[in-house]
Structure 1
Amino acid sequence: FPQARRCEVFFDYVQMLDSVDLDAVEILTPHALHFEQIMESLSRGLHVLVEKPMVCKVEHAKKVVEKSELSSKVVLVSYQRHYQPHFRYVKRAISSGELGNVQFVSALQCQDWLEGTKGTWRQDPAVSGGGQLNDSGSHLLDIILWTTGLRAVEVFAYVDNLGSRVDINSALAVKFDNGAEANVSVVGNSPTWWEDITFLGEKGAIFYRNGRLQRLEAGGEGFLEPTKLPQGSNPDRNFVRAILGIEPVESPPECGLRVAELTEAAWRSAESGAKMAVGT
């Protein structure tokens, strides 16, 4: 962007807020800094687009939700999968009842995160707020909760840091408010990227296989590949159009809160060796 060369550069975000007449901010800083920056921006009457995870603690997430409601400003978490056609299709199939009640979700995310982030702030818990589960894993937890519309109520987790100061591999067993279960595996020392999610309902199943979507009807003889997918968008477009009053916010701070609740409970479970209630 050649125009960016004319932009003033600041090394202190408060100085920037004091010096520039702004309508909105986008926060792409290390995770543990998000909370303070969100709250300060809202206090100044600014709209906020923030990268995932929204914040790293449940208590902070609740304060962001409350502050955003009181401020009447747009707060949008950049969970881009809310805007991708494949996942919009899954959400529509579940919310419309086509799939029946969700009974089980199985999810696997693999990434060479351990080596790829070695020596960076992402493996410094004071700045990152957590490891792979709180980073790329945040997308996985969010998309499960958002597509199904379910709330996690219990979790049992195993976590392995593999010598790092933050979590690298995580295995979660989750119970939802409708009685359904899920197993969620986040692997941070994989040789390659792979993501796999299965949604099993009373009337059928949907399989997301690393970008490929397939569907199986109850009693059906073979897999179907959906061809008519919903139109896609992106968080940036939704953010601008929400500020203008054209669209509702499609990845609101409540999504960040739900992810924080499940992530924090998983960490507590792994530390204690016991299952934990989520969101309490």
Structure 2
Amino acid sequence: MSKVRLGAIGAGWWATSNHFPIFAAHPDVELVGVCGLGPELTEIRDKFGFGFATEDADELLDAGLDAVVITTPHDLHHPIAAKALDRGLHVLCEKPMTLNADEAWDLAQRAEKAGTVFLVPYGWNYKPFTVAAKKMLDEGGIGEIQYAVCHMASPTRGLFGNDPTHMLERWNSATAPNPTTWSSPARGGGYAHGQVTHSSALLFWLTGLRAASVAGRVMTAGAPVDLFDAGVIRFDNGALGTLSGAATLADGDKYQIDIRLFGTDGVMMIDVERERVTLSRYDGTRTELEITPDEGEYECLIPPARFIELITGASSENNSDVEVAARSVELVDALLRSSSQDGAEVAVHA
């Protein structure tokens, strides 16, 4: 096909430091227009080569696009993505896809009806070692999953506490993260929506599990939003699991994602921090993947490129589609509801 006519809604720190450079350099992309707020918008238009800039999302969506990338504050994802899907556009929507389960599954239904690509850019879902781990699981490496551990920790206490200095240094963006996005409960701020979205989406993509119920607690430790999260999960297949998250690693520490899966035929461990994937089967077979040093470090280079490849037909592998994202959203939504009810077990879905 001809170049993908792409528009962007949202022009903040993550869009300008990650997505826009990738799309601007992609030979199969035409950057039609960018929608955002603030005096920097014209400069951003010129820097990345967008055809026009506007503060009106509808104007952009009606500009003859094939696809749109959405990097607005979390609470605006659903209405914009819904409009895009209803126009038959391909959508790359930042994480968390939405803030509640109903909106997440609404987008899933709209995407199915539209028949277009919907990708949520979870970087760890595209790492060679996680792709290899999923292949082993899909081949029955541990049998049926009976118990799952999913833990994440990040050096993000400043981001959720109104001081994004470390994140700016990490991502080298001239556009500061907006504190109203990351440290406002009403806008989806907090560690659960901001980071547990990563680990849970990785878990659901790897395993195909879906949470049925959760009993959860969160703690703010004096911050405006949650810094610590914990939950006990029942999955649809009857398996038990735990989910945990902590925002307070020291600046510069490596991100932690630790997923441990216990099945009827064996055990798999996936450790992002120490870059390990091991499979230990009860028949005595043991496998440990060789992983390139620093492959566990977070980056999001493949998902935007894969989005274009899915549109053009160059790839059919979507490791973070709308259903994976919806399963993550519904679990985080239920965890927060449970915490507001003193940790009572609540249903994740009907």
Gaps of 5+ in 1: none
The structural deviation recorded for 1:23 is: 1.3
**What does residue 218 of structure 1 align with?**
282
**What does residue 78 of structure 1 align with?**
121
**What does residue 198 of structure 1 align with?**
260
Kept in 2: contact 1:94–1:102 (CA 8 A)? no
Query: 1:93-133 CA distances to partner (integer Å, 9 max, x unpaired)?
Result: 22211211112111221112222333212011232x24111
Query: 1:31-70 CA distances to partner (integer Å, 9 max, x unpaired)?
Result: 1111111012223332111111111111111211111122
Is 1:241 matched with 2:300?
no
DSSP-derived class of the 1:82 partner: helix
Kept in 2: contact 1:154–1:276 (CA 8 A)? yes
Kept in 2: contact 1:171–1:186 (CA 8 A)? yes
**What does residue 11 of structure 1 align with?**
55
Percent sequence identity over matched residues?
30
DSSP-derived class of the 2:54 partner: coil
The structure showing larger relative contact order (alpha-carbon pairs under 8 Å, at least 6 residues apart) is 1
Aligned equivalents of 1:131, 1:228: Cα separation in 2 = 31
Of 101, 109, 132 in structure 2, the residue corresponding to residue 66 of structure 1 is 109
Q: More deviation in 261-270 or 117-126? A: 117-126
TM-score by length of 2: 0.72
- Name the Cα RMSD after superposition: 2.4
Aligned length: 274
**What does residue 268 of structure 1 align with?**
337
Q: More deviation in 266-275 or 198-207? A: 198-207
Aligned equivalents of 1:44, 1:150: Cα separation in 2 = 31
**What does residue 250 of structure 1 align with?**
319
Aligned equivalents of 2:223, 2:202: Cα separation in 1 = 27
Of 222, 226, 229 in structure 2, the residue corresponding to residue 163 of structure 1 is 222
Runs of at least 4 residues of structure 1 off by over 3 A? 1-4, 245-250
Letter in 1 for 2:270: Y
The structural deviation recorded for 1:228 is: 9.1
Aligned ranges 1:31-50 → 2 under 5 Å: 31-50=74-93
Query: 1:163-221 CA distances to partner (integer Å, 9 max, x unpaired)?
Result: 23322100111111222111111011232332222122222222222222223232649
Aligned equivalents of 1:264, 1:272: Cα separation in 2 = 13
Kept in 2: contact 1:95–1:149 (CA 8 A)? no
Aligned equivalents of 2:240, 2:189: Cα separation in 1 = 25
**What does residue 277 of structure 1 align with?**
347
Letter in 1 for 2:199: L
Aligned equivalents of 1:167, 1:46: Cα separation in 2 = 34
Kept in 1: contact 2:159–2:183 (CA 8 A)? no
